[in-house]
Chains A and B, each alone.
Chain A
Amino acid sequence: MTDFVLVLDSPTDDINTVHNFIENVWESNPELDAMDRLRFETALIELAANVIQHGGKGGSIVATVSLSIDDDVIRGQIVDQSEAGAVELGLREMPDEYAESGRGIAFIQRLVDVLHYERNGGDNLWMIEKRRTHA
């Protein structure tokens, strides 16, 4: 298993910091399936954007983003200490075509195999998993 960790300190860091982190991980793991990478990266970016947008009081937040790759699964985790959100993780319907927001969680649910949230002490812990495609 390979582990990668990013400490995200927003607003100094923003969503592009997470993109750059993921790109570095892909560069060191070129054997990953291209569509697996696209789906996982899109899901992790949606999750990180959600944490940045809804987690930070006064616009600032510190979160730990970690990514691990093993033979079968790509796993991403985001931990932050902001207040517990009222998160409804039942399967979300995709908003209608003309909606301008509200697609983030619905995207994640359709892009990866697992989306999990738990409140652990003072931490919010988000986890996603994508099963790897093997040629």
Chain B
Amino acid sequence: MDFERENLSDTVAVVRGVGRLNMVSAPHLREAVASAIADGRAQVVVDLSGVEFMDSSGLGALVGCLKTTRQAGGDLRIAAPSDQVTMVLQLSNLDRILTSYASPEVAYRD
């Protein structure tokens, strides 16, 4: 699975991919978020609407990306997680620190 980046504004970028976020694709997510930060957009929303499955490797990549965006003065938010992704977020208590939004467009309205 590859990730694409779309710039929502001068400071906000959406990263999205279709498929499974696992030990194979997790490094690609890290690269996509690092590229957004390097491009001056440290406010990142990961659109999970196309992610049918996430395992602990994928979750680890999300946590890593959350930390790198915050270190760069931004934040990482997620949009439209599937039932399986929501289950994994709850199981790991990550739902406490990763705020989920209905769509990428509303993630940075505040």
Contact = CB atoms under 8 A, between A and B. Distances in A.
A94 B53 contact: no
Interface stretch (A14-22, A25-33, A77-85, A117-125): A14-22
A69 B61 CA distance: 33
B103 interface: no
Interface string A38-56: 1101100110010011000
A80 B28 CA distance: 29
A100 interface: yes
A14 B83 CA distance: 24
Interface stretch (A1-9, A58-66, A103-111, A127-135): A103-111
Residues of B in contact with A, size category: 20 to 34
Given A19-B20, A19-B53, A45-B55, A100 B91 contact: no
Contacts of A95: 92
Contacts of A88: none
B56 A46 contact: yes
**Chain A interface residue count: which class?**
20 to 34
B67 A104 contact: no
Interface in B87-104: 87-88, 91-94, 96-97
A42 B87 contact: yes
Given A42-B55, A99-B63, A107-B56, A49 B88 contact: no
A97 B22 contact: no
A107 B66 CA distance: 21
11 contacts: A14-B24, A38-B83, A41-B53, A45-B53, A46-B55, A49-B55, A52-B23, A97-B96, A101-B57, A107-B56, A107-B88
Interface of A: 14-16, 19, 34, 38-39, 41-42, 45-46, 49, 52-53, 94-95, 97-101, 103-104, 107, 110-111
